[in-house]
Every structure is written in structure tokens, then in C-alpha cells.
């Protein structure tokens, strides 16, 4: 990635992947995006296509059913998908980063062998249940509990805004829960809950502003019993481990956001060349041309930021600050570009069948999910010693 920043040329394997996903996005995803958005339906046929391409297994070793690639490969795929349909892109991002990655990072060998092959193949989806009505970034607000009863955990509580949690192919949800107390503070652990466990309920899906083809539910747990060996990672390290997952996930969300920002540029350039007003294409008007130029600059800066964070991550170097910067810059670029693209399209930009209208509705959550803009600013400030 550092080579790309200086030369503008990706290595061949990354370039081939990017081109393959770009073709899939344009020929398979884009034609059905408006329909799934309008009907609020989960795009099972698109997800199956992504599974066939091996996208869900990109960053995982072949021994667990993965493609033997890396996290940057996943990010490239997310950028291309994000250009045309953020709902599809977040389905992949959450399925890999939040669903499968915790199993890979913190699971026992038995847990990896049990769950990763299905998740990496895209035949099943996983989800991560962190957020609650009064808890998300504030771990101290966690109220879901898990009590050890012999060789079983008994889980009670609720979660909200959980992506990929209620599809027909959702197999597991990893949840954070209070498992005791340490030094006067809540001990928070993570436990894997198969979705067919009695007492687990994915409540009716949310009616959202955007990401309408993405699956999002509140969850409830009523005396849910799972084996003690479903504890993921060390007891009491659940929240700390998930913070690491979030650091990685911010790079992935930045890649998705970059795709959204670039998609708005691409749509605006096309429209500005075709749309005529007062006898000439509107792109020949400096006001429009300059607006699109600024949009391109935002997308370029966002891409450079997530490439840089990914390079540090893969090199095994500290990347927390760079991941937060990438997520901050890219999510704001997506929202700003969506607003400008809608303005450029005029009345057409307000029609839902147009991609820029979907980006306008979809992009706001990029400034909220997996750490709000304010959280990113807080993280950067802390890294600066403030």
C-alpha cells in the first residue's frame, strides 16, 4: 500500500481483485440495488454471489476455509461495493469484521474449526452484539448478564442496532455480557450464541433512514443457555478485545466510505457531462466543475488515509490513531460528497431510484456506526497526549 501512495499503482494481485469486485458491483449489485432498497429486502442472491467470489473469506487462512489474503484485500472489495450499494458493502464488512474476525482473533482452535469455515465461505453470517439502549461506547452501561451455572452460561438482556443478526443464514451472534465484577468494576466477557438457541430472539427489523437492504435488528436474550466453552477469549477481556476489533473495523468502514464518496463523484461526472442547461452541459459551468473537483479531492484523501492505516496494521505497527483518522476523514467525505452530488443532480437527486439519493440517505450512518465522529476525535486527541 505504501508503494501505491507514491506510485499510484497497486500490486497485480490486489489490482485483479479490485477489478473483479468492480465488475461484480456494476453487473450484479447495481441492477438490483434500487429494488432491494425500496422493498427493504435482504439481497440473498447478491450475498450468494459474494460468497462464490470468496469475499467473505478474504482475510482468513485457507486452513479455516479462507482465501489466504489479508485485511487490505477486504478493504479493496468494500470500496468497490460501496460505490454502488452501501447495504451490500456493510453486509460484507459486518460479516467479516464483526461476525467472523472475533472468532479468528480470540477463539480456541476448536471454536475456529467449528464456526470459521461456514463464515469464511459466506454460507453463514455472524454478528456481534455490543450496543444496548444505554451502552455502546460506554462499556460501564452494559446490562446484559451471563451467569455461569455448572457447565452453561445463562444469558439475559438485550442488544440493539445489530447488523446481520436476523437473516435466514445468520448462524451465531457474539455478545458482550457482564459475567461478574473485578476491582469494583463490571467484568465484561464475550460469549458466542448460536441463533437457534431457545430464548434468543431477533426482534422485528428496524425501519431505517438508509441501508435499507442491510439486516438490522434489536435482540433479546431470555434465560439463553449456551455451553461454558462458548466463552470467546479470556473471561473479563471481552470489551478490551472488541476494542481491537473496532480499530481494525474502522479501516474497513473507511474503505466503504471511500467507495461511497467515489461513487458520488462518478455519478456526478457522468450526470454533469450529459445534463444540459442553457444550451450546454452543466459540467462546463465552473461552479459545478469546481464542486466535483472538491468531491474528487475528498475521495482521494479518504483513500490515502485508509491505505496508510491498513499498511501500518499489516506491518504490525501501531495504527489506532491512523484508523481513527481514516474513519473520520472518509465518513465525512462520504456525507459531504453525497450532499454535493444530490445538489448537482437537482430534482433527480431527490428521487430514490438514483444512486446519489441512496448515498445521501445511507452515508449519515457512516459518521455514527463503529464509533461516532466524536469518538474518533477523542481517540486522535488521546493519541496526541491530550
Which band of pLDDT confidence, cut at 50, 70 and 90, is reported for residue 353? Answer: confident
Cell of 242: 472488541
Which pLDDT value is given to residue 252?
98
User: Average pLDDT, stretch 139-168?
Assistant: 94
Domain ranges of the chain: 2-124, 126-237, 240-383
Give yes or no on whether 2-124 and 126-237 have one common fold. Answer: no
Q: Exactly one of 79, 80, 132, 370 is catalytic; which is it? A: 370
User: Average pLDDT, stretch 179-186?
Assistant: 88
- 187 tagged catalytic: no
Looking at domain 2-124, which of 3.40.50.150, 3.40.50.300, 1.10.540.10, 1.10.357.10 is its CATH number?
1.10.540.10
Looking at domain 240-383, which of 3.40.50.1100, 1.20.1440.230, 1.20.140.10, 3.60.21.10 is its CATH number?
1.20.140.10
pLDDT tens, 263-277?
999 999 999 999 999
In our burial notation (b when 16+ CB lie closer than 10 A, e otherwise), range 230-259 reads bbbbebbbbbebbeebbbbbbbbbbbbbbb
Reported for 101-105, long-range contacts at CB under 8 A and 24+ positions apart, including other chains, are: 101/59, 101/245, 101/248, 101/249, 102/128, 102/174, 102/190, 102/232, 102/233, 102/241, 102/242, 102/245, 103/174, 103/192, 103/232, 104/60, 104/64, 105/241, 105/244, 105/245
Q: Which residues have C-beta within 8 Å of that of residue 121, sequence separation ≥ 6? A: 51, 56, 57, 65
pTM strictly above 0.85: yes
Which pLDDT value is given to residue 108?
97
pLDDT tens, 313-346?
999 999 999 999 999 999 999 999 999 999 999 9
Which pLDDT value is given to residue 7?
52
Which pLDDT value is given to residue 242?
87
Which pLDDT value is given to residue 184?
81
pLDDT tens, 51-90?
999 999 999 999 999 999 999 999 999 999 999 999 999 9
Considering the segment(s) 126-237 as one domain, its CATH architecture is Beta Barrel (2.40)
Q: Given a cut of 80, is residue 139 above it in pLDDT?
A: no
CB atoms within 10 A of CB 226: 21
Which pLDDT value is given to residue 5?
52
Amino acid at each position: 500500500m505504501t508503494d501505491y501512495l507514491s506510485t499510484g499503482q497497486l500490486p497485480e494481485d490486489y489490482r485483479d481483485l479490485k477489478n473483479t469486485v468492480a465488475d461484480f458491483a456494476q453487473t450484479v449489485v447495481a441492477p438490483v440495488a434500487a429494488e432491494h432498497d425500496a422493498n427493504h429486502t435482504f439481497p440473498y442472491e447478491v450475498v450468494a454471489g459474494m460468497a462464490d467470489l470468496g469475499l467473505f473469506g478474504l482475510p482468513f487462512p485457507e486452513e479455516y476455509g479462507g482465501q489466504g489474503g489479508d485485511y487490505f484485500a477486504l478493504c479493496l472489495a468494500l470500496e468497490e461495493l460501496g460505490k454502488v450499494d452501501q447495504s451490500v458493502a456493510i453486509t460484507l464488512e459486518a460479516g467479516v469484521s464483526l461476525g467472523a474476525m472475533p472468532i479468528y482473533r480470540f477463539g480456541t482452535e476448536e471454536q475456529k474449526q467449528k464456526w470459521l469455515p461456514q463464515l469464511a465461505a459466506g454460507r453463514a453470517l455472524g454478528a456481534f452484539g455490543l450496543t444496548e439502549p444505554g451502552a455502546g461506547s460506554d462499556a460501564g452501561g452494559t446490562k446484559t448478564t451471563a451467569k455461569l451455572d455448572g457447565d452453561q452460561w445463562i444469558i439475559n438482556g438485550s442488544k440493539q442496532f445489530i447488523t446481520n443478526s436476523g437473516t435466514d443464514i445468520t448462524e451465531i451472534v457474539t455478545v458482550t455480557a457482564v459475567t461478574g465484577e473485578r476491582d469494583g468494576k463490571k467484568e465484561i466477557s464475550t460469549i458466542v450464541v448460536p441463533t437457534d438457541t431457545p430464548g434468543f430472539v431477533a426482534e422485528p427489523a428496524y425501519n431505517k433512514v438508509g441501508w435499507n437492504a442491510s439486516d438490522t435488528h434489536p435482540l433479546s436474550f431470555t434465560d439463553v443457555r449456551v455451553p461454558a466453552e462458548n466463552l470467546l477469549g479470556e473471561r473479563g477481556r471481552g470489551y478490551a478485545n472488541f476494542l481491537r476489533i473496532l480499530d481494525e473495523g474502522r479501516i474497513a468502514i473507511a474503505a466503504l466510505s471511500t467507495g461511497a464518496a467515489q461513487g458520488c463523484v462518478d455519478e456526478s461526472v457522468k450526470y454533469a457531462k450529459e445534463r444540459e442547461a442553457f444550451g450546454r452541459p452543466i459540467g462546463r459551468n465552473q461552479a459545478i466543475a469546481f464542486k466535483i473537483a472538491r468531491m474528487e479531492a475528498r475521495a482521494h484523501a479518504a483513500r490515502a488515509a485508509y491505505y496508510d492505516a491498513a499498511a501500518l496494521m499489516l506491518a504490525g505497527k501501531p495504527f489506532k490513531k491512523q484508523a481513527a483518522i481514516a474513519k473520520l476523514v472518509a465518513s465525512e467525505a462520504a456525507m459531504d460528497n453525497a450532499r454535493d452530488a444530490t445538489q448537482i443532480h437537482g430534482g433527480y437527486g431527490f428521487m430514490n431510484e438514483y444512486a446519489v439519493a441512496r448515498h445521501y440517505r445511507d452515508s449519515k450512518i457512516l459518521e455514527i456506526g463503529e464509533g461516532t465522529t466524536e469518538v474518533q476525535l477523542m481517540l486522535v486527541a488521546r493519541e496526541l497526549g491530550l
